[in-house]
């Protein structure tokens, strides 16, 4: 039996970005951030490390990068707060951890992993998740550390339009990573600030295991980005894995089938997928998706727009 080659696929969100509305500076910043995240995950996988370590490392880089809507640079709620969600899943064991409504943990993806490994639970929320983070001695920051002026401007612009409860039309900056390691195991991680102007403690798909995040060595690992309500209703990440496992579909076939359902419901966004055979796919029905891929065969790619 041949040793599996490692694969890493990342995303920084799907949405309405185009060459006309994304400045050259923002384009370059996003590409640099994606490349840095690939570097972090690749270093672990190339050294024989685990897919779980690799996806956490890649997502931590994206969380710290203000170019993306996760960690520093997250969007504001309607009330002007920042509430962070994240999830991780280990395809070898189907262990999972997730957090929602976190306000002080610098790297929510690492808190999600702590929930998976250090608690008997899968999903912790709000004050409880913040308290558990302190107990686990994870890095804490003042909530203002996450805030950047551009996100405040986006909230004010959305409120001025008075077009709806939250901003469903702008770009979605959720970040995520999926990986296959040389041991044949897959893992997934997702992190987000949610939607600009979200209200009433809204929770999207990112921290919902089976909706925005899922990993199973028997099929694949998936991380989603987009209008989370639709991904929750479709059970998108699990549905893709189930189609691969039970119907024998390729990652591309399974992803396209689930996306057809999401589109029929009115949803937009994207997914990244990798499987234990080393194949990978990214699918999105928006004009663009920040994305990147690296593999043990030397492949290396960073892209934003649909025609790349």
* Closest C-alpha to 226, from 181, 180, 289, 279: 289
Collapsing DSSP states into helix, strand and coil, what is residue 144? helix
Quickly tell me which residue has 């004050």 as its tokens: 127
* Closest C-alpha to 12, from 150, 177, 194: 177
Collapsing DSSP states into helix, strand and coil, what is residue 111? helix
Beta bridge partners of 224: 271
Q: How far apart are CA 283 and CA 33, in angstroms?
A: 20
Our answer to whether residue 174 is catalytic in this structure is yes
Six-digit token pair at 175? 């970040």
Cα distances (angstroms) measured from residue 5 to each of 52, 54, 278: 15, 14, 6
First to last CA, the chain: 35
Six-digit token pair at 207? 């921290």
Which of 100, 174, 196, 286 is catalytic? The answer is: 174
Quickly tell me which residue has 């370059």 as its tokens: 28
Collapsing DSSP states into helix, strand and coil, what is residue 12? strand
Let me know: does 29 contact 204? Beta carbons within 8 Å.
no
What H or E segment, with its residue span, contains residue 253?
Answer: helix 251-265
State the alpha helices, DSSP H only, in 51-178: 51-64, 108-118, 126-135, 149-161
Q: How far apart are CA 156 and CA 8, in angstroms?
A: 37
What H or E segment, with its residue span, contains residue 224?
Answer: strand 220-226
- Specify the DSSP class assigned to residue 67: T
Residues noted as catalytic: 174
């Amino acid at each position: 039996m041949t040793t599996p080659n490692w694969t890493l696929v990342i995303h920084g969100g799907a949405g309405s970005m185009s060459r006309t509305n994304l400045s050259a500076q923002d384009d370059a910043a996003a590409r640099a951030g994606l490349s840095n995240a690939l570097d972090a995950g690749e270093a672990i996988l190339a050294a024989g490390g685990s897919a779980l370590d690799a996806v956490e490392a890649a997502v931590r880089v994206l969380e710290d990068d203000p170019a993306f809507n996760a960690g520093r640079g997250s969007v504001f709620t309607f009330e002007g707060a920042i509430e962070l969600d994240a999830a991780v899943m280990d395809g070898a064991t189907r262990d999972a951890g997730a957090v929602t409504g976190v306000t002080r943990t610098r790297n929510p993806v690492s808190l999600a992993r702590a929930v998976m490994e250090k608690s008997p639970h899968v999903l912790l929320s709000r004050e409880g998740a913040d308290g558990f983070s302190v107990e686990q001695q994870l890095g804490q920051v003042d909530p203002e550390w996450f805030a950047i002026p551009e996100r405040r401007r986006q909230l004010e612009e959305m409120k001025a339009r008075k077009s709806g409860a939250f901003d469903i039309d702008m770009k979605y900056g959720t970040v995520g990573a999926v990986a296959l390691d040389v041991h044949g195991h897959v893992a997934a991680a997702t992190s987000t600030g949610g939607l600009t102007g979200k209200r009433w403690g809204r929770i999207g798909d990112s921290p919902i295991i089976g909706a925005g995040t899922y990993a199973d060595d028997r099929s694949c690992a998936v991380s989603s980005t987009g209008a989370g309500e639709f991904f929750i209703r479709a059970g998108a990440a699990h549905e893709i894995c189930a189609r691969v496992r039970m119907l024998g579909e390729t990652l591309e076939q399974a992803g396209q089938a689930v996306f057809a359902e999401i589109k029929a419901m009115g949803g937009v966004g994207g997914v990244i997928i990798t499987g234990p055979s080393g194949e990978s796919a990214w699918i999105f029905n928006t004009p663009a998706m920040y994305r990147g891929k690296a593999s043990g065969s030397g492949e290396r790619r960073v892209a934003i727009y649909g025609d790349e």
